[in-house]
Amino acid sequence: MINQAFISFIKIAVELTLLFVVITFVISLLQQYIPYEKMEKKLSGKNKYIAALFTLLFAFITPFCSCSTIPVVVNMLKKKLPFSIVMIFLFSSPVLDPTILTIMAVIMGFKVTVIYTLVTASLSVIIGFTLESLKMERAVKHVVMKGYQEKKVKFSFKSAWKETLELMNSVYPYLLIGSAIGAVIYGFVPTDWIATTFGKEDWWLIPLAAIVGLPLYIRLSSMIPISQMLILKGMALGPVMAMMISSAGASLPEVVVLKSLFKTELVILFVISVIAMSTISGFLFYFI
């Protein structure tokens, strides 16, 4: 079992390393062409639906985890962007990462990735507009944190490689952690036990997985190899996706930081919204 788990870890780690380096480098090159200042104007446009689409695009091209999203949210609040736009970015940025989505497509399949992207993006927009309609902007405290400053660099392979190394420094350890956990699951956790316990069609497994995933500070980059092994072991896709989205969409450190920006009622609604997004997504995968 140990040899099996070790071989599995090496295989997953090598595959993810190659994918991560190549994809991150290409995306870093492409990001140098993005006119961030023009995009910010689109985010504050009069047509809120077009602004929402640009917000999703902005979330997609700015790969952040749940905690590192906060400085960008602070900057948006300081610039008086519409509250719905800020909320859409808050929910969509951690779960829409071009590098991780590409890796997801390679590991879990193109169909799963497309459905995941469409579902999480749509629910982020719905939640953002819903919170605005509930006039939850009143629950935003005075922002005192320093805003996020966009990097302005000229096109160069050197700067793209530097960005790749910086992202590897912050994200790659989580990929290895996820690979290690996935290898342990593959080598030591009995297939029959996972298939029997979590492979059932019981509906309550999906909201349970969403709640279990919420307090875990596991980045999406770690959850993908873990999810791959759970699915291979027989765990149903619905609970896997619910856990993946909830663990990526929020974390205890992020909730603590949000408490300094939002009043308690908005923080509670944020947590409930992440659970709702994860649960609804899980059920959609369950029925599909």
Would you state the pLDDT for residue 270? 92
Lowest mean pLDDT among 139-143, 237-241, 271-275: 139-143
User: Greater confidence, 27 or 275?
Assistant: 275
Angstrom CA distances, 226 to 163, 175, 277, stand at: 26, 10, 20
Give pLDDT tens digits for 84-112.
999 999 999 888 877 778 878 887 888 88
**Which stretch, 46-50, 156-160, 199-203, has highest mean pLDDT?**
46-50
> Is 149 a residue whose pLDDT tops 60?
no
44 in Cβ contact with 98 (< 8 Å): no
- Global pTM? 0.71
Would you state the pLDDT for residue 38? 65
Would you state the pLDDT for residue 147? 44
For CA atoms 47, 63, 148, 262, the dihedral sign is positive
**Which stretch, 22-26, 90-94, 170-174, 186-190, has highest mean pLDDT?**
90-94
Sequence spans of domains, the chain? 2-287
Q: In the predicted model, what is the mean pLDDT of residues 194-206? A: 72
> Is 158 a residue whose pLDDT tops 90?
no
> Is 131 a residue whose pLDDT tops 90?
yes
The stretches of the chain forming alpha helices (DSSP H) are 2-31, 36-43, 48-61, 70-78, 83-92, 98-108, 110-133, 157-188, 191-198, 205-213, 220-232, 237-249, 252-261, 264-287
Specify the amino acid at residue 240. Answer: V
Share of residues in the chain with pLDDT > 70 (%): 66
Share of residues in the chain with pLDDT > 90 (%): 19
Would you state the pLDDT for residue 27? 61
Q: In the predicted model, what is the mean pLDDT of residues 234-262? A: 79
